Structure 1
Amino acid sequence: MTLYLQFIQRSWPLLCFGFVSIFWGNFGQSFFVSWYGAHIQESLGLSAALYGSLYSAGTLGSALTIMAVGGLIDRWPLQRFAAAVGAGLMLACLIMLVSYHAITLLVGFYLLRLCGQGLLPHTAQTTMARYFDADRGKALSLSASGVPVGEVILPLLAVALIGAVGWRGSWLVFAASVPLLYLPLILYFLRRAPQDTNTPPVQQAKAHNDTSMGRRQMLRDYRFWLALPAVLAAPFIVTGVFIQQGFILSAKNWDPLWLASCFIMYGVAHWLASLLAGVLVDFFSARRLLPFMHAPLIAALGVLGFCNGQWVAPVFMILLGTTIGVVGPITGALWAEVYGTGKLGSLRSLMTAFMVLSTAISPVLFGALIDAGITVQGLFGSCAIGAILASVLVSFSYPRLKLD
């Protein structure tokens, strides 16, 4: 903890920029939007299937757009890029306010997922990985704390606002928070950051003869394809588990309230594991940690698939939270370590798109397997085998590079 306190004291302006960017990005995360599902369906007269289809379509559209616009963070000053994404989030909230038709709702979902789930976290984590070298892991962990903080605060705020001003009125409040809070805060923090965030990173790289590689070189590197299954395994599997938790409740005979209470343990484990992983990344490097990062995921899947009893739920959720906490800083630091920081925004936007696509596929695949009659042992045992194979493949990728 002392390492973190010393680091925060030295670098608080840019760390605060990353934290608030990820915190405001929570407006586009599924855990937040889910609180509006019933209200939206009732107001617009949508079936659950149509509502889900609109949300999935908006998510997939945002993934494709991120690949096109995410690289602008390499060519624009950070202030301009962050302000543009913030304006996009404000527009998304305003469209949600005036959504009286399915098409309007689709546009709202698209912009929420693009700016909230995609570009604001992309902005924060690209900035952390780019401007911090020796402390990259800790920077990624601290900025990512905006997610668990949002998971605690924002659902309560949403419920309170819906009760006070209605679900539409609450989106007006969130839209107003961007120009009144988010934009002034990030400008304040960036003005006080010792790093040069006014010069576009590509120009900085040219001035320093940076040899950073871009998407083309990354996609031609066979080691990238060996690492990709491991990078995507955790978000793919965890999303499938959460979306299909009804299958788990039925198979394990758990009370929904019992599993819901275990989410507190998940959040705490997520946060603590992320802080620990940040220190480990700085000490060992992300490349060396890659083959081991899925150990808690494999253990979680084994416990869930082959053990029974009420005790399984908290153990499983703690292991799952540990997985997400560990994977974030390791994969976040990986691309900067291997390919440099000059074109990092372009690389990370491509990986964000891959991640979003994988999380769109897993609920459908899990649902098809469940409908086909797969057992809980078969489903999660198969996932564990997949995670093991991904860990074996990644052992032959970047960790084989000579470390500085």
Structure 2
Amino acid sequence: MRDFIFFIKGNFRKLSFGWMLTFLSSFGQTYLISLYVTEISAEFAITEGNFGAIYAICTVAASFIMLTVGHTVDHISVKKVTTFTVLCLAFSSILMGLSYHIAFIFIGLIGLRLTGQGMLSHISMTILSKFYDENRGKAISFSTLGFSSGEIVLPLLLTLFIGWFNWRWAMIGSGILLILYLIRLYFTDLTHFNKQLSKGRPSSLSLIKDFGSIVNDKRFLILMPTSFAISFTVTAVIFYQYVFVDLKGWSPQLYAAFFTGYAVTRLLFSLAGGVWVDKFSAKKMFRFYLIPLTLGLLAFALINSITGALIFLLLMGVTVGMSGTIKSSILAEVYGIEKLGAIRSLFTMFMVVSTALGPLIVGLMIDSGYSIKTIMLSLFGFLVVCVLNAQRIKGIQTSGVTR
């Protein structure tokens, strides 16, 4: 940990940029958008289930657009890509706040999911994976602290803002905040990240060929399911967490306090994950990091008291905390960094799709009358299969060139 502190001190300016991007990505993440679900559903006279379907459609649309733009971080200057992404995220947020027709909600949600959850996270992880080699784990783990910071700070602030004003002003205010960040970005020197840029823009045909070769490769069938499973499970549970709390008869206030424990655990294991990746390699960590979340689902299913929720949230924090560092680092280890932006965009697409399918499928299970125990055990079984599949990584050779 001492080496980690020295590393952060020596690279703080570069690392803080990555942290800021993951922090700002919060405005397109499920946990913040979920704050607006009730108000938007009531104002547009739709059910929360219908809003969930709209959300799923927009998320899937955003994931496919991601394939066409994710490669830009490989060959366009980091400042240009980031500026355009933040500007689009701000526009999407303001559009949501000003929308008086459901069509604009569609457009706004696609923008939030594409630029927030998708591109800002993608830019941060890609440039740090390319720039750092021996300390890649530490760099990415520091960047992922932006996710935890957003989870701790922004829900409280936006909830208060919505209470004082309304959801529209909260959306517009978020957009204005993002525009203000662009002023700071204008004076930020990011030329050091441009040293890793590829020459020339890939053609559409070459991208299709690259994506096809990745999907048909054994490595993809080992790496993708685990990434998909985490996003699928965590998003679904968080999206319906207070539905589960109500059905279980637990105290919402106590559960909310436990959720803070999740955020703190995620933060701590974001740091630990970076140290362990640099020490043991992402390839070794990949085999085991899904296990805590898997065991947490078992506790949620079998323990009727709210203690089950506490165990689940803490174990989820362990897996989610390490996941950002491990998932980004292993792509660089296995594939190398030359086309890392395009490769990450493909994996990000499947991750984003999973965040749409998770709430949709679990919502259908709830509507069909499945018990919480059955839902959690189903997710547990799914993750067990993914853990077993992850063991196949032992037979995969790492890339000879990572930088």
Distance 2:34 2:159 in 1: 11
Cα distance in structure 2, aligned partners of 1:300 and 1:20: 30
Please say if residues 296 and 323 of structure 1, whose CA atoms lie closer than 8 Å, have aligned partners that are also in contact: yes
| 1:42 Cα deviation after fit | 4.0
Q: Relative to structure 1, is the Cα distance of residues 372 and 107 closer, same or farther in structure 2, using a 3 angstrom cutoff?
A: closer
Aligned-pair CA distance for 1:11:
1.2
How far apart are the structure 2 equivalents of 1:242 and 1:307?
A: 18
* Paired residue secondary structure (1:190): coil
Q: Following TM superposition, by how much is the alpha carbon of 1:165 offset from its aligned partner in structure 2, in angstroms?
A: 5.1
Instruction: Provide the rounded CA distance (Å) in 1 between the counterparts of 2:112 and 2:163.
Output: 22
Structure 1 unaligned spans of 5+: 207-212
The one-letter code of the counterpart of 1:26 is: S
Matches within 5 A, 1:1-400: 1-163=1-163, 166-180=166-180, 182-191=181-190, 195-197=192-194, 201-203=197-199, 214-245=210-241, 248-249=244-245, 252-397=248-393, 400=396
8 Å contact from structure 2 (residues 31, 238) kept in 1: no
Separation (CA, whole Å) in 2 of partners of 1:302 and 1:170: 37
Alpha-carbon distance in 1 for matches of 2:288, 2:36: 38
Kindly tell me: are residues 175 and 205 of structure 1, through their superposed partners in 2, closer, same or farther at Cα, counting changes over 3 Å?
closer
CA contact (8 A) 1:298 1:387 kept: yes
1:99/1:105 contact within 8 Å kept: yes
How far has the Cα of 1:230 moved from its partner? Answer: 1.8
Q: What stretches of structure 2 of length at least 5 have no aligned partner?
A: 203-208
> What letter matches 2:26 in structure 1?
N
- What are the superposed Cα offsets for residues 364-390 of structure 1, whole Å, 9 maximum, x if unpaired? 222333444544443323322322221
Displacement of 1:292 in angstroms is 0.8
Give the aligned residue type for 1:190: D
Contact 1:78 1:200 in 2 (8 A): no
Q: Cα offset for 1:349?
A: 1.0
C-alpha separation in 1, matches of 2:306 and 2:170: 38
Contact 2:255 2:309 in 1 (8 A): yes
Q: TM-score, normalised by structure 2?
A: 0.89
Structure 2 contact 293–312 (Cα < 8 Å) conserved: no
Q: 1:45 and 1:370 mapped to 2: Cα distance?
A: 22
Distance 1:53 1:87 in 2: 27
Cα deviation for residue 402 of structure 1 reads 5.7
What is the CA–CA distance in structure 1 between the aligned matches of 2:242 and 2:373, rounded to whole Å?
Answer: 15
1:158, 1:170 within 8 Å by CA — same for their partners in 2? yes
CA shift, 1:190, in A, is 3.2
- Kindly indicate whether the alpha-carbon contact (under 8 Å) linking 2:334 and 2:399 is maintained by their aligned counterparts in 1: no
Larger CA deviation: 374-383 vs 16-25: 374-383
Do the aligned residues in 2 keep the contact of 1:63 with 1:114 (CA within 8 Å)? yes
Name the SS of the counterpart of 1:308 in structure 2: coil
How far apart are residue 48 of structure 1 and its match?
A: 2.8
Corresponding letter in the other structure for 1:129: S
* Count of aligned positions: 394
- Report how far residue 250 of structure 1 moved: 5.5
CA distance in 2, matches of 1:99, 1:344: 37
Change in Cα spacing, 1:146 to 1:396, as seen in structure 2 (3 Å) is same
What's the RMSD between the two structures over aligned residues? 2.6
Instruction: Give the letter aligned to residue 289 of structure 2.
Output: M
8 Å Cα contact 2:127/2:193 also seen in 1: no
Quick one: distance in 2 between partners of 1:375 and 1:42?
27
Deviation at 1:218, TM superposition (A): 2.0
CA–CA separation in structure 2 for the residues paired with 1:14 and 1:322: 26
Equivalent residues of 1:274, 1:329 under 8 A apart: yes
- Does the 8 Å contact 1:240/1:363 carry over to 2? yes
Q: Identify the residue that residue 206 of structure 2 maps to in structure 1.
A: none
What TM-score, normalized to structure 1? 0.89
Deviation (angstroms), 1:40: 2.9
> Relative to structure 1, is the Cα distance of residues 357 and 385 closer, same or farther in structure 2, using a 3 angstrom cutoff?
same
Letter of the structure 1 residue corresponding to residue 141 of structure 2: S
Q: 1:347 to 1:259 in 2, by over 3 A?
A: same
The Cα shift of 1:166 comes to 4.1
Distance 1:83 1:164, change over 3 A: same
Alpha-carbon separation, structure 2, partners of 1:383 and 1:164: 38
Task: Find the aligned partners of 1:151 and 1:215 in 2 and give their Cα distance.
Answer: 33
Query: In 2 relative to 1, CA 314–74 (structure 1 residues): closer, same or farther, beyond 3 Å?
Result: same
Instruction: Look up the match of 2:205.
Output: none
1: distance between equivalents of 2:290 and 2:45? 43
Residue 23 of structure 1 aligns to which amino acid in structure 2?
A: F
Return closer, same or farther for 1:44/1:247 CA change in 2, 3 Å cut-off: closer
Q: Within 1, Cα distance between the matches of 2:169 and 2:237?
A: 33
How far the C-alpha of 1:300 sits from its partner, in A, is: 0.7
Once the two structures are TM-superposed, the CA of residue 62 in structure 1 deviates from its matched residue by 0.8
Distance change in 2, residues 1:371/1:91 (3 Å): closer
Distance 2:215 2:52 in 1: 32
- In structure 1, what residue type is equivalent to 2:120? L
Amino acid at match of 1:348: R
